[in-house]
Structure 1
Amino acid sequence: MEPLVFYGYLLATIAYFLLLLTAWVGRKKNPVAGPFLLALAFSMLWAGYITVCEYQPTYTLIISTSLAFETLRNATWFFLLGTLISRQQLNHNYLLLYRSRFTYMLAAFIVFLLVFELSEDVRTPIKQFVGNQVHIRLMSHLMFAIIGLALVEQLYRNATTELRWVIKFLCIGLASLFTIDFIVFSKSLLFTSLDYPLWGSRGIINTLITPLLGIAMYRLQTHGMTDISLSRTLVFHSTVLMGTGLYLITMSLAGYYIRDFGGSWGEFAEIVFIFLAIILLLVLFVSGRVRALVKVYFNKHLFSYHYDYREEWLKLSKTIARLNSLPELSAAIIKTMADLVDSSGGGLWLKDEQGDFYLADAKNLGFDSPQQLAANHSMILFISKKQWVIDFYELAESPQLYKDADLSLWMTPEKAVWLIIPLFLQNDLEAFVVLTQARAPRPLNWEDHDLLKTVGKQLANALALNHASDALSRSRQFEAYNRISAYLVHDLKNLIAQVGLIVKNAEKHKRNPEFVDDAITTLENVVTKMDHLITQLKKGHDPQYQNHRLNLADVAADVALQQAGNRPALQVLNTLTDDLFVVGEKTKITAILGHLVQNAQDATPADGFVKLILEKQPPHAIIKITDNGCGMDRKFIAERLFKPFDTTKGNAGMGIGVYEARDYIRRLAGSCHVDSTPGLGTTFTVCLPLAEELIVDSESPSPANTGANV
């Protein structure tokens, strides 16, 4: 008895037994309780049988019977993995999985191997037929290890993020179990005899695996399962693993012949061969060219369509959604196109404002490419007209197809250009991608061309969206700047008009003391407003001009004084016995009401009337500006009156006074209504909340305190 081997398998038996009891207790919460219990039970029996045999060792008994238990153990783990995969991939319809050809073949292989392991009468004729040089049992169990690793990889690679968290430790545990089996039987096959030290170490390794299986069992009981999605990536990666296993089997057989016929160099040749085999395997595994060749082969022979369009489309959408800038988008376009056909690199040419195309980005392009192509270049005209993907393999075979395009810039051998892919937006060429040779060169068919053109259109839409976002951002900046400028010019125009009125009447009334007093008062008002504008341009707001509680009677008096020089003269009507208080900025409200009065005076003949009427209709203060001027029709009020930069005064007006008035009144939670009849006059009604109805935070800046809406 080997103590380490005996105690290792004894510990594994105990560990599997304890895990089996725990799984039985929580079986009602486990969605795969049956297969899990079955796998744990046969794993316990396998480890227990070897423990008994090690206690009273009979080597022949271990080989002939323990491998049979191991076959049953592997079969139950396959059953568990198959159940996990089928629960979501096949909508819980397990029969679809277990009716597959692969399942039938695997089941038949397991039954055959059990009979082979347990019956000497079956082993003897088979050995006589195939010869004793090939160890069938070792080869079979090596295949079991490869199948197990393939199923584990299939389960994990194609699980969602949430499910990966649930099955992560199960996959690690089973991958470890099948990996040590793979190592044991591959090396044993190399020497055509069971490697006893490696074989004995599996007891300790299985003991170490059981905690991982316990964690996986707990997560399955508490969190259940979520979706797994089957894809051709799954098939590809599983095939890579299967190919790796077949490769190692071949290397093992070759190693056997080296050892058997190597003479005195046999042992040395074995060591060198194994080292070179490992190096070659690593080189092949990391080789992009080999992966590309395998992908082309399986796409060609296993699928009716070369591409999984759903996967390609979702992958493209997710890629575009993560991009925030043009440089990121340019790099993503190159990578997306290159990955579709396994190209090693490429470059992207974008259209500029003049219609020419410039090199925006390059990745592994490998040559000095033209930095710019003119819009009238023959290649650009050819692509725009034909909307083709230019294929240089096709060009070599049928040059007449591209006779109208000058491709001399790309045809030198050192450039190794393969494809030029256009990106169209509504039949307009927005960009094109140049790709270098593929890792696995191949001709393109109609499906490749259609996919490249379709993806190109989607990427062109992403480019257009990026350009539109940039243009919108710039437009908003200009809009803010123009709005500031318009309001500023509007207020300055009104101030200049007041100063101009003083200058106009100065020669006639300059010796009149009352005129001088009025002129000084007007100039003080102009200076105050201009200082206000300058302060707000510098700081954004001035605490002196925050909203305050103010009396509309005082505002009306200021408006009358401001508009005193215009005709017809403004009549202020206030029949209220108490004051009328609102909350706002006095300077701003005075300017707005003054502008509405100015408009009324401009629209009314000198012998007409313009009235400013104050009323109180709780909870609102009412300001009416009424005249008997030319009036307006309903269409003009609806379409043009409040439209900014639309004026009927020609060069004398800015067209933003009424728009600004309504905007500011709305900021004060008020409203503005217009009633007008052509030829009879107009009434502007301004409603503002009474001060008593509002609670104002005097410490916070007013939303309306923007001076000239700067």
Structure 2
Amino acid sequence: MTALVSLSQFLSMMALAGFAGVALWLAARPPARMAAPTPVPRRLALAAAATAIWCGALYAFSPGSSQALVIQSLRDLAMLFWLSGTFWSASAPMSRPQRVILWMLVTIDLFALLLGGAAYLRAGAAAFPWMTPTLTVGAMLVAVGGLLIVDSGVRRAGAGQRMPMMAVAGGFAMLWAYELNVQLIGALTGETASTLIQLLPAVALLVLPTYVVAAMDAGRERMQLSRTAAMRTLLLLGGAAYLVLIGLTGAVARMIGGDYTELAQATSLVVALGTGGILLASARARAWLSVMISKHFFEHRYDYRTEWMRFTATLGQGAKGDGEDDGNLYRRVAKALAELTGSPGAWLMLPAARGGFRVAEQWRWPAGIDEDATLSLRSAFMLQESRHIVDLDAQRRGQPAQDLAIPDWLIADNRAWVVVPVVHFQRMIAVVVLHRPPVSRALDWEDLDVLRIAGQQAASYLAESQSQQALSEARRFDEFNRRFAFIMHDIKNLASQIGLLARNAERHADKPDFRADMVETLKISAGRLSDLLVRLSPRERGPAAEAGRVLIEPLLADVAAEVRPRRALFVGCQAGLAAWGDRGSIRQVVQHLVTNAVDASAPETPVQLVAVAEQGRVRIDVIDQGCGMTRDFIRDELFKPFVSTKDAGFGLGAFEALQIAQAMGGAIDVASEPGQGSDFTLWLPLADAQGEAGIDPRMMKVGSK
């Protein structure tokens, strides 16, 4: 017992020095440096000083003595004074019952101080023994009331209070709870728990770090644990709690007697192994635990520094990582946004040729990409204008923030959780659909802000990438133009050669040898010109032409007549069908599609050219039974410049045809399978529909390329 008393005195001196140092530290700080309102740090300094005096009383008179109980009343009064300044404020107002409890506790402490002082002045130290029961009852009442104030104040304060200040309130609660426990044990057993009383200075030392952290916070020298360190601390505390529970279970089993000790040990082991196995094997259990810890132990859901560093690293890395090819920026964007919210997968949608957005890339989406999954032009416009993060669960419950015309297929897919528009300035570059996480939850303001800012950051990466791609294509066009310069040089040489031949013919036309040489030269020149003409197929259009009503049937007949030497076409056209556009442009697109169909099919297979009115537009189908194309080629390469399946092709025909069609308000669709032929569909505005809409033909122009 002597050793325990000596240890208690040593701990009392350490606690006295620590609390005195914190009190002096806070008192010496100028008010201008304090982040919190001035009264709160001053009251904290007063509470630290009173606690230091109490620790001195523990050293001088021993814990549990009447003198220490009187000084404890002074300490409790200072602590209540600090609590009133912390929780009785605009950010965390006390309720009326709390204020009543606070005034009652202050009255009890003042009474204990006055009673102890008066008794000491009258009878000296001999008066304290008979006062001990009264002081003990008062201390118990103050401890119970203080715990109620701390519990209610912390629950009502929420995020309005700084976390270090809340930690000090928790330290108060720990000290009061320990003292109340000791006093209750003595009251119930009738014996003084001397060992627990002697350990009061140790509990005071455990409370001291909360004062230190709060003091640093008040001086803007905030000390914070990283989320990783906090999580590991929680795990260690959980392990310690498990060991304590094991010890208590064993103690209770020994008190009961019998064979319950081994049963308790086996039960504890099974529970521990079962819990650990569930956490290791179940991603859903781990996700649930992570959500619960983030929700109840941290002020913010996200560790912004860590998450932003990981997000930026995911967007910026171009090499392979985690066994995946991260060279695809679109997939990296989907991955980065999914990892922010703990989603196991994501879709990324890009602008489609016919308007709207289509699924172009995915990251770990379980069923892959749905080729028919598209976002309509209206939905895309609404998302671009509102920049709204769409909670699809709210859409399914019929509680949307606003009508965003989300397609039915996306609502029906319960795996889809959130829609994030990726907007760069006023243009939506992409749309990301996040997969539902293992533990689904409702989005809050923090999720929305993080996804909105992350979407803007990702949009800047995508915009830069697209700009680089456009610059690369421009450079390739420049190279292509330089090739034309060489071709023009060859044409000039041929023209000079033919001109010289014509001048010589005036003088030597009657000579047989000259005529033979002339014929041979003309054949060679004609062959070279034919080759150049093939290479110089029309690529440039003239000035902007006015759109007008174009009859489709005669236009198709002209194209068929031009192609007839190579292949007979089956032509079918709805009577009187007319499109709205430029005749030369429409003919150029149809001629290109027909030429491609002829080139792609065998000589004996037919090529069909069919035109009808459908859905208020003109539909012109060019159908062949040739080699066909893969879906990947159609989606990724068919309409890109400089990509061609022909050995001598420049890869500009399909690209130019699409540009011309879109300039007239039309589009081109392709349906093809390898070995089964292709169906190119040219959509154009219907002339009658344009007329009914009251559009002035002079106001419509077909853009030049």
TM bucket normalised to smaller: 0.3 to 0.5
TM score, norm. by length of structure 2: 0.40
TM score, norm. by length of structure 1: 0.39
